[in-house]
Amino acid sequence: MEKSKHTEGIEETGKIEEIEIIKITVEIEETGKIQETEKAKKTEEIWVGQTEKIKKTEEIEETEKAKKTEETEELEKIEETEEIEEIPIYPLEESLKSEVMSIYEGIGNNDKGTPSQFRSYLSERGSNLKEEQKVYLAYYWVTRNIKYDYDGLEKGTYTNDIEQLFPKRVAVCTGFSKLFKDLLLSMNYSESKIINIRGYAKGGGYSPLKEPEADHLWSAVEINGKWCLIDSTWGEGDTSDYFLCAPPKCFVRDHLPYGNDSLQFLENPITLQRFHEMTDIGGKEFCKLNIDIIEDKAVQKYLWKGKNIV
């Protein structure tokens, strides 16, 4: 029996649908493969990205580690340098002091005539000394041979002229400082390394209740790259030589430069008001406490413990 045209049409349609289904299935499979490929590709990209990120993190950490190591080494070098700089200049080593005292004892009558005669002697004998020796010799001679001119100060007859005060062997603070500087220059000390500082001092007649006067003069001398505070006036008769390169944290309790805080040689300079408040203990005694801060509360706490600082 022959198939009708209608039946044949249905069969053809069925075949077409099968073909379409197969095509769709193939497309789905292809799409699945593409998606799998894309997924794998993305997974690989993520993995590569994470790997690169980890690598970069490790590189940064290594760089930071190297940087910190370098900074640590630099800090250690700085600390070592600071430790070296903290070694006190005075007292002098015995061999250096012996050489200075030999020159001092050999002065004889060379300091009995005119200042120019004494300058010639110092130039001849002292010019080849080390800086710390030159300063010590000038300070030692001034503080052992010049007396404070109390009478001249009271009567107003004192002089600051070296030619006049030298033979008299008396002076006030300006004369002391000028003579000290003059002796250093005689030994070819660089003038740029010597500063005369005018300021406030807690000497005779000082009172925190009175209007202060910047009427005292002392010195700052650069010795081997380090600035030292020196008061040859207050050093007169003081065999301890405390006022030869006194520590700034101690020196500021008695001496405050006028108009130039940098000449305190402190990391944190104090004010004039703070200077007046520090009245419980002087600089020399403060140094005997051997503490690192200026605050009076710490000093008072120390004193309350009954420590003997004399």
Boundary (domain end) residue, out of 244, 268, 294:
244
Same domain, 272 and 208: no
H or E element at residue 248: helix 248-251
For the chain, give the percent of residues with pLDDT over 70: 67
Q: pLDDT-based confidence at 304, cuts 50/70/90?
A: very low
How many domains does the chain fold into? 2
Helix residue ranges per DSSP H, 127-159 = 131-145, 150-155
Boundary (domain end) residue, out of 244, 279, 302:
244
Residue 78 located in a structural domain: no
Burial of 308 (0-12, 13-18, 19+ CB in 10 A): exposed
Place of tokens 């002796």: 183
Question: Who has greater pLDDT, 267 or 17?
Answer: 267
Question: Who has greater pLDDT, 177 or 27?
Answer: 177
Tokens of 99: 């050489």
Same domain, 99 and 184: yes
Residues 6 or more apart whose CB falls under 8 angstroms from that of 130 comprise 96, 224
Same domain, 222 and 126: yes
Same domain, 168 and 216: yes
Q: Which of 23-27, 39-43, 86-90, 250-254 has the highest mean pLDDT?
A: 250-254
The reported pLDDT for the residue numbered 88 is 73
**Mean confidence (pLDDT) of the chain:** 81
pLDDT over 90 (residue 172): yes
pLDDT over 50 (residue 244): yes
CATH of the domain at 157: 3.10.620
Q: pLDDT-based confidence at 155, cuts 50/70/90?
A: very high
Same domain, 188 and 296: no
Neighbours of 133 (CB within 10 A): 20
Q: Going along the chain, which residue ranges are E strands? A: 147-148, 170-171, 194-201, 216-223, 226-230, 244-246, 255-257
Span 3-34, pLDDT tens digits: 555 555 555 666 666 666 666 666 666 666 66
Strand partners for 35: none
Same domain, 226 and 136: yes
The reported pLDDT for the residue numbered 104 is 96
CA pseudo-torsion sign 259, 265, 267, 272: negative
The answer to whether the predicted template modeling score (pTM) of the entire model surpasses 0.85 is: no
Angle at 16 between CA 15 and CA 22, to 5 degrees: 90
C-alpha to C-alpha distance for 42 and 262, rounded to whole angstroms? 66
pLDDT over 60 (residue 76): no
Boundary (domain end) residue, out of 201, 224, 244:
244
Residue 44 located in a structural domain: no
Residue 2 located in a structural domain: no
Span 188-228, pLDDT tens digits: 999 999 999 999 999 877 887 777 788 999 999 999 999 99
Same domain, 240 and 251: no
The reported pLDDT for the residue numbered 197 is 97
Sheet containing 255-257: give its strands across: 244-246, 226-230, 216-223, 194-201, 255-257
Residue 152 gets which letter from DSSP? H
pLDDT over 50 (residue 278): yes
Mean pLDDT of 181-191: 98
Strand partners for 197: 218
What are the distances in angstroms from CA 223 to CA 82, 227, 230, 242?
16, 6, 11, 16
Q: Which domain holds residue 272?
A: 247-310
Span 114-140, pLDDT tens digits: 899 999 999 999 999 999 999 999 999
Amino acid letter, residue 33: K
C-alpha to C-alpha distance for 223 and 114, rounded to whole angstroms? 28
Residue 175 located in a structural domain: yes
Amino acid letter, residue 88: P
The reported pLDDT for the residue numbered 211 is 78
Residue 67 located in a structural domain: no
Residue 65 located in a structural domain: no
C-alpha to C-alpha distance for 280 and 309, rounded to whole angstroms? 13
Residue 283 located in a structural domain: yes
Same domain, 98 and 228: yes
C-alpha to C-alpha distance for 54 and 40, rounded to whole angstroms? 21
C-alpha to C-alpha distance for 174 and 164, rounded to whole angstroms? 13
C-alpha to C-alpha distance for 298 and 169, rounded to whole angstroms? 42
Same domain, 231 and 119: yes
Same domain, 133 and 260: no
Same domain, 230 and 142: yes
The reported pLDDT for the residue numbered 307 is 43
Residue 188 located in a structural domain: yes
Same domain, 308 and 185: no
Tokens of 52: 């690169």
Contact 163, 171 (CB under 8 A): no
